[in-house]
Amino acid sequence: MHNMAKHTGLLVLLIFLVGCGSSPSIEHYFLTAKPAEPPQGDTPSLGVGPIQIPEYLNRSALVYSRQGNKLKVSSTAHWAEPLDDGLQRVLSLNIGALLGTQNVRMFPWDPHRAPDYGIKITLLHLDANDQEAHLVAESLIYRPGNSATVRRRTNRVGLPLTNGPLSPEDIAPAYSELLYRLSEIIANDIKADLISTRSAQGS
């Protein structure tokens, strides 16, 4: 009986070790900003955030479409950081570079040192399938000093995908490109307001 129990214990341990060894490893991905020269100026000052994301994206695993309303939640591909943090980080880098300012603050900031422009993002949709990656987000640009709205708009940005069946490796680069295009829209809105403000001050 003693030998049987010993052998049974060894068999259970062996099965456990084999099971652990065959578990798929988890790959981690992160969003990236466009390469750019470090900004030299410090105006305008920007405050980025908060970033709100849909609940279905609020998880560590990558989520993307399969067919119709069916979502694929990957068991082997995870984000290296919370998705809302990654969005805030990349948007801050991109918009700062596009406007040539290094004076970019993350929400929340010191209310006594409010930036020239605040940028709130509500992500409504972020998805990829075999044909395209697609982003829908509401952006609000405002003046934190007096809460005046500069520009509110709903942005729809798409990116064709032509590499065949979608894999998790395709998702982070595609989403990063979508974020850069959203950053361009926001930066252009701020540039237009700066021109309008300077023109009004000069008249």
Beta strand spans in 24-180 (E): 27-29, 46-52, 61-65, 71-79, 104-106, 117-128, 132-143, 148-160
Q: Which fold has domain 2-202?
A: Rossmann fold (3.40.50)
As a whole number of angstroms, the distance between CA 76 and CA 110 comes to: 39
Report pLDDT digits (tens) over 116-153: 999 999 999 999 998 999 999 999 999 999 999 999 99
69-119 pLDDT, tens per residue?
788 899 999 999 999 999 999 999 999 999 999 999 999 999 889 999 999
Mapped onto helix, strand or coil, the DSSP state of residue 199 is helix
DSSP 24: P
- pLDDT computed for residue 21 by the predictor: 52
The answer to whether 166 and 130 are in contact (CB under 8 A) is: yes
In DSSP terms, 159 is beta-bridged to 133
Please tell me the pTM assigned to this model: 0.86
Nearest-10 Cα torsion for 46, 186, 69, 84: -10
